Structure 1
Amino acid sequence: MSWAYLVLAGLFEIGFASSLKLTNGFTRPWPTLVFALCIVLSFVFLNKALKDIPVGTAYAIWTGIGAAGTATIGILFYKEPATALRLFFIATLIGSIIGLKIATPTQ
């Protein structure tokens, strides 16, 4: 279950990182509320995951999910460039996340 919590934490990290741009300096109430809700839920699920997953692994996977996901959201919704090199490194990040999962024993 800890790995599921970690994936949820990463998905909510994508949510708070992606919605941050929409807050316009925290002047727009609804995007700010989405940001706040996502950041709280991200840390709640990360905390739950840490009960069985080593902190170094959990943090690396959490930030990796957030980085890869937010970069993908940027390409899909914010018209950021989708160059071959960017896509290669997003894929490399995803491969590293999977590798950490495979290489990490749980308690």
Structure 2
Amino acid sequence: MHLQVSTEQSGAATVVSAVGELDLHTAPMLQEHLDRAVESQDGLIVVDLTAVDFMDSTGLSVIVSAVASMRPSGRELRVASSSDRITKVFTLTGIDQQVGIFETVAEAVT
């Protein structure tokens, strides 16, 4: 199980990109990047999951936690995912009602 996470600016948005498998063992890496983005940046955060092959409930929990920490300041978190399996996780759990889901990062940052 392997995950690579990076953070970059795309205009006014902070994009946190993950590549690989997002599970119990790798989720803390994403959590660390999201925590830093929430604390140090203003505005929109986009979580790029377009290169994530697998995501379990731990990965979903990391994203929900970031949304909760951003909510008091009125900031928004969006997810980019082209995988039907990963998008379905957000839909089945109702998280798609709290988080915008987009097929590409380009769509999510606009």
What is the TM-score normalised by the length of structure 2? 0.32
Q: Comparing both structures, which one devotes a greater share of its residues to helix?
A: 1
* Higher RCO (Cα < 8 Å, 6 or more apart): 1
Q: Which has the higher Rg, Structure 1 or Structure 2? A: 1
